[in-house]
Structure 1
């Protein structure tokens, strides 16, 4: 959309005009640039950019501005760059004087004098002449790992603090696109920023309650950045690729099977990009982009929420090609958008018969569903495919309702459900809440794990449930029983236990979904417990509608305390509506 977020300005009697030049034949991946004509001396002609619902600017932070520009011969046009704060005052300023008639990148740094939540960037042009402008960019100096043009540090830090085992990217339905020409193509998301082809976002007009027709993807965040982020936070990368099908909730557009080769080749090339040495075409590109070492890719997703025979047909083509060249790569296979029903049953039965590696199950449902399904995997085939709980989140009202909230009731139900995931860890290899991030000023779906505005961010109760499971996982599941049965909802309680052999600790997780405190006695058999202090972590609120917010980000957050351990008999008072974790040192 030409001039999206841009506004024209004139001051002190200057005259001028702008033209949006379409150079699609010459540069299809970056089809537009601005030609500015300043027709009078004196004053200034300019453009302002509002950013994405404004720009978050922090006082005393350095900001890096850059632009691609070229002057028409004889034009003395100078650029003055300003940041305007929330009240319109200038809070940062610098100058650039482009020279020459070839495209050149110009850069400058300035320091903000004030904090602004919704600042705007102004580019003023003075001097009679003509100048071409493209790739206007502004980034804080302080990004994640201070990478130029890098990711927002506080958001990535929240991911790192979870210590996730994997990072699934670039997302779900965004992989498919509403139509195939708007699908995510990883090769167009790497390399020079001005060569990354912009496309409209899959979610721009999906929901009538949040229409955002100007929602585009610039791919400033692309597959190289995703791989680097996964590496930074110690997570295995899990890229998801289009399988020749657009979103079946929209057009369901298909690539004919005899035309599928380019899609399959994209998958093979991605594996080479991630793991190939510098003697390979795509491994060399990775090295040229600054990462000579491989990313150690172990798994790849074929499709997102596809279903039906047409998906099975395309899955077979992908699987044959990938396994023939890279037999060690595990393939994640979709089981559709629902956790049951005809679509699910067809894929589940078929992929199991075909020896699939990992099956991707999705479930968005009310809290009761999660509590009721804590035993979902108890009877799954132990010799069949592994399970990836790829997308799930309890919905406080109904699936996809814009009024859903990240309530404590939802998070507590997820904690109960996850006892079943942990108890069946021999079947369920991976799990991830979805979606991950949402802007309070620009979202299409709720609930989401982490919320942010232009300056701040906060973790939801759901986030803390996920984090506590991640920080307290073991390598062996041990039985935790009540009356010789697993604790899977009796009297509203759910529990599981694991051993961390590295720290030599027994870790008990206990979820009380009732409004009453519970006196609970744990008798530990088969292992002597050290008589010392254990660590008790509690996530709790008496209000099941409790939420966190930007103004009160820790309204509900974990509380840790020491607990004297006197032997193998342990008595605990479990608080109402609570998720409790007890770590106990073992003698051996």
Structure 2
């Protein structure tokens, strides 16, 4: 008889095969010969089929720590066209001619997203104007002067090319449009608003308007006759000049279409809701801090009120923020998906990781700025008789949003941060001791920078939740699963931004492959085991528009029409939907050191999470005390190590759920190579 035992070297993925022969009469030379023969003849492919054997033991009645009920949440930042061109349902790009970007050098392009003089035989001009604008927050508009024919210009939407429109419309669907227009004084005729192909062929019934000499809002509803990539056309039937500003085109079935300022892209909202988030951190990130110039500070007051009066700003990531998705909409989204709102405000510092061209707020200015934070809390929670509570009610939400958390600063560090943080922290805690403040430990996982931050926090601000950020490789995540085992149990951590970054591929992207997702899953078992310390965690970035991204990897990808869920998304969804209330004590006996686990429970459910990051399947025996026998569920995410989901194959990596049976408190299952598996059993 021959028996084989396996020893794993996790760092090099080498198997040591030890064989014992108990055949009578086989001498030492023969044993050496047979061992050599087996070693030479055993195919490499057979190694990948080797199955290890492990045992996990847990008692549902023996628990270790209470789990945070806000452990899994979302972090939204307007990066990768995550807001405009993404979550915000607006289909027009640069809808009010304010476009500017700041990637270096600073560029203003008021014509971005628009095409002019599109009608054959027509002549005219389009010029940027600022005299007598729609309002002081929206100072730029377009004056179009038609001198011959039927002058036509159009908004091309996102991802538009010279030859095609970028506005996705679907047959039978309804779209709501408006635009502010004014007769500049000498226009004799009508302006037609039409949903068309790039060539001008109509896709819906158009509408014509006769204009006054004052700014006025003109509205039209389109029902698309065909599924096409469209443009929104403006056709001048007559000669003379017309002023145009603040156009909009939003699907009538957008999520929150009844909100005063449009709504959100419904399929993306559903993808967020399906993650079962407990909180929503917004609006950044580096976007909160702004880049280079003080005018780029994210000012929440610029993002509320009537849409045409919101003051747009250039985006840290190199495009424009319309603020159609503003603080009111963030609060509404949080409410819609069942998440606690967690706004992050700048600390008076521009992004410290960038080439700052202007000084931070002075100490005196920071004292003045503190009122903005108090006003924000009033906007969220104040009575309708207060100034900012009244604005919230006017926008459609008289009930308070019940804000509990406020982040001060993002990835800030050193004394220049703490001097300003102290002022803002004290202002908020004096007026609103019920608000929990989130402080920053800086942008890196290890080293002197976060160590200095922690010393300051423990000595002066121990009641804050500390925001840690890290984007690291797979080895780091696997080597640091026990990171929070070592933290003092009195501290509270918010892992506000994290993701496993694999090597950049030839296409210039770090991939959202299965292996990166599994390394995150392994790490998340450590977050759960230590969720008395880690009270919040969120993957970053959340969203990316295909072909318009500035950062990879990202949790959810999308194009004009479709949403793509990554393996990383599925891991987040699997873990968040099976988060327990308590961690259950457990032990694992396994020679495969690349299997990670955690066991948790609620009042009526037990969850066993098993993550196999190795190339070898495992025969796992699970022994559970004080868990009733009967049917349970097993959900598994598995595939090849480097598999990714694509728009052509969205379900290549997706979780599958089957039934399992617990008998006499035990069951045996196979953990596939490269897999995340969750067992669920009823406790009552």
TM-score normalised to the size of structure 1?
0.92
Q: Summarize the alignment of residues 150-165 of structure 1 with structure 2, pairs less than 5 Å apart.
A: 150-165=263-278
Q: 2 CA distance for matches of 1:566 and 1:324?
A: 57
Among 275, 280, 287, which residue is 1:174 paired with?
287
Q: 2 CA distance for matches of 1:10 and 1:379?
A: 65
Change (3 A) 1:439 1:108: same
Q: Which residue of 2 aligns with 1:135?
A: 246
Q: Which residue of 2 aligns with 1:29?
A: 137
Shift of 1:128: 2.2
Q: Which residue of 2 aligns with 1:363?
A: 470
Matched-pair contact (CA < 8 Å) for 2:630–2:663: yes
The answer to which structure, 1 or 2, has the higher relative contact order (CA under 8 A, 6+ apart) is 2
Shift of 1:567: 2.7
Shift of 1:12: 5.5
Among 325, 343, 350, which residue is 1:239 paired with?
343
Structure 1 range deviating more: 265-274 or 145-154:
145-154
Q: Which residue of 2 aligns with 1:211?
A: none
Matched-pair contact (CA < 8 Å) for 2:503–2:510: yes
Matched-pair contact (CA < 8 Å) for 1:366–1:398: no
Matched-pair contact (CA < 8 Å) for 1:333–1:356: no
For 2:274, what is the secondary structure of its paired residue?
helix
1:560 aligns with 2:657: yes
Q: 2 CA distance for matches of 1:87 and 1:39?
A: 21
Shift of 1:13: 3.5
Q: 2 CA distance for matches of 1:449 and 1:147?
A: 28
Change (3 A) 1:25 1:85: closer
1:190 aligns with 2:304: yes
Matched-pair contact (CA < 8 Å) for 1:169–1:238: yes
Q: 1 CA distance for matches of 2:205 and 2:552?
A: 38
1:468-504 superposed Cα distances (whole Å, 9 cap, x missing partner): 1111011111112125xxx9x9621100011111xx1
Q: 2 CA distance for matches of 1:154 and 1:27?
A: 34
Matched-pair contact (CA < 8 Å) for 1:77–1:131: no
Question: Of the two, which has the highest radius of gyration?
Answer: 2
Q: Summarize the alignment of residues 294-309 of structure 1 with structure 2, pairs less than 5 Å apart.
A: 294-309=400-415
Among 206, 213, 223, which residue is 1:111 paired with?
223
Among 482, 501, 508, which residue is 2:608 paired with?
508
Unaligned 5+ runs, structure 2: 1-108, 160-165
Q: Summarize the alignment of residues 411-430 of structure 1 with structure 2, pairs less than 5 Å apart.
A: 411-430=517-536
1:146 aligns with 2:253: no
Structure 1 range deviating more: 402-411 or 77-86:
77-86
Change (3 A) 1:4 1:568: same
Matched-pair contact (CA < 8 Å) for 2:134–2:245: no
Change (3 A) 1:565 1:26: closer
Among 573, 576, 579, which residue is 1:467 paired with?
573
1:533-564 superposed Cα distances (whole Å, 9 cap, x missing partner): 101100111x1110011121111111001111
Matched-pair contact (CA < 8 Å) for 1:523–1:569: yes
Q: 2 CA distance for matches of 1:568 and 1:106?
A: 69
Shift of 1:261: 2.6
Q: 2 CA distance for matches of 1:10 and 1:512?
A: 58
Q: 1 CA distance for matches of 2:458 and 2:379?
A: 30
Q: Summarize the alignment of residues 479-558 of structure 1 with structure 2, pairs less than 5 Å apart.
A: 479-482=585-588, 491-501=593-603, 504-525=604-625, 527=626, 529-541=627-639, 543-558=640-655
Q: 2 CA distance for matches of 1:11 and 1:556?
A: 47
1:266-301 superposed Cα distances (whole Å, 9 cap, x missing partner): 111111110111121111111111000111110010
Matched-pair contact (CA < 8 Å) for 1:77–1:130: no
Change (3 A) 1:105 1:538: same
Matched-pair contact (CA < 8 Å) for 1:81–1:93: no
Q: Which residue of 1 aligns with 2:69?
A: none
1:113-151 superposed Cα distances (whole Å, 9 cap, x missing partner): 2223x4322211111233221111111111014336211
Shift of 1:10: 5.2
Shift of 1:25: 8.6
Q: 1 CA distance for matches of 2:256 and 2:296?
A: 31
Structure 1 range deviating more: 515-524 or 371-380:
515-524
Change (3 A) 1:89 1:424: same
Q: Which residue of 1 aligns with 2:112?
A: 4
For 2:470, what is the secondary structure of its paired residue?
strand
Change (3 A) 1:506 1:71: same
Among 435, 438, 442, which residue is 1:332 paired with?
438
Shift of 1:86: 7.0
For 2:311, what is the secondary structure of its paired residue?
coil
Shift of 1:84: 3.4
Q: 2 CA distance for matches of 1:382 and 1:423?
A: 12
Q: 2 CA distance for matches of 1:121 and 1:25?
A: 22
Shift of 1:302: 0.3
Q: 1 CA distance for matches of 2:119 and 2:571?
A: 54
Q: CA RMSD in A?
A: 1.9
For 1:310, what is the secondary structure of its paired residue?
helix
For 1:510, what is the secondary structure of its paired residue?
strand
Matched-pair contact (CA < 8 Å) for 1:198–1:216: yes
Q: Summarize the alignment of residues 15-414 of structure 1 with structure 2, pairs less than 5 Å apart.
A: 15-23=123-131, 27-40=135-148, 43-53=149-159, 54-72=166-184, 75-85=187-197, 89-116=201-228, 118-147=229-258, 149-178=262-291, 179-204=293-318, 215-252=319-356, 253-354=359-460, 355-384=462-491, 386-397=492-503, 402-414=508-520
For 1:11, what is the secondary structure of its paired residue?
coil
For 1:480, what is the secondary structure of its paired residue?
strand
1:42-97 superposed Cα distances (whole Å, 9 cap, x missing partner): x3112122212122222221111111112245644322223334777432341131
Unaligned 5+ runs, structure 1: 205-214
Q: 1 CA distance for matches of 2:199 and 2:671?
A: 51
Q: 2 CA distance for matches of 1:35 and 1:463?
A: 46
